[in-house]
C-alpha cells in the first residue's frame, strides 16, 4: 500500500477482554515496529521485527502483550486481559532503508479500556 495502515483506528473495550490490533506495513519494508504512546507522553518501544530474524520483544510491558508478523508483512499486536493502564495510542511503523531508521508511521489505534 501507499502507507502504513492500522486497524481499527479506535477500540473501546472492557477491562479483562482481549484485543487485537492490526498493522499493514509499506510493501517491501522489512522492519516493523510497535510503539505505545500514553496521553502527553513520548513513544514507548514495544517490539521490533526485522525480516526473518527473531523479534526484539524487550519492550513488551508484560506477558499479556504479544505480537506476531505473518509472512514478513502484516503484524498483529494482541493484548490479553486488558487493564485500564493499557489505554493509549498504539503506533505501528515500518522501515526500509539500510538501518531502518527512517520510519513511516501509521495513524495508530486509540485503545480505551473501561
Q: Supply the minimum distance, in Å, between the C-beta of residue 41 and another protein.
A: 7
Binding region for another protein (CB under 8 A): 4, 31, 33, 35, 41-43, 45, 48, 50, 56, 59, 89, 91, 99-108, 110
- Nearer Cβ to another protein, position 19 or 36? 36
Closest C-alpha among 112, 98, 102, 111 to residue 22: 111
Given the complex with another protein, which of 14 and 54 has the nearer CB atom?
A: 54
Shortest CB 16 distance to another protein, Å = 26
CB nearer to another protein: give 85 or 97: 97
Opening angle at CA 102, ends 98 and 105, nearest 5: 130
Nearer to another protein (CB atom), residue 19 or residue 91: 91
Minimum separation from the CB atom of position 8 to another protein (A): 13
Amino acid at each position: 500500500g501507499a502507507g502504513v495502515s492500522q486497524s481499527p483506528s479506535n477500540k473501546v473495550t472492557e477491562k479483562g477482554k482481549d484485543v487485537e490490533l492490526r498493522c499493514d506495513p509499506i510493501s517491501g519494508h522489512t522492519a516493523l515496529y510497535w510503539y505505545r504512546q500514553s496521553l502527553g507522553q513520548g513513544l514507548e518501544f514495544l517490539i521490533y521485527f526485522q525480516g526473518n530474524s527473531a523479534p526484539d520483544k524487550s519492550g513488551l510491558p508484560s506477558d499479556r502483550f504479544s505480537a506476531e508478523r505473518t509472512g514478513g508483512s502484516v503484524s498483529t499486536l494482541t493484548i490479553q486481559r486488558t487493564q485500564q493502564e493499557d489505554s493509549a495510542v498504539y503506533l505501528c511503523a515500518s522501515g526500509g532503508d539500510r538501518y531502518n531508521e527512517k520510519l513511516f508511521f501509521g495513524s495508530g489505534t486509540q485503545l480505551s479500556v473501561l
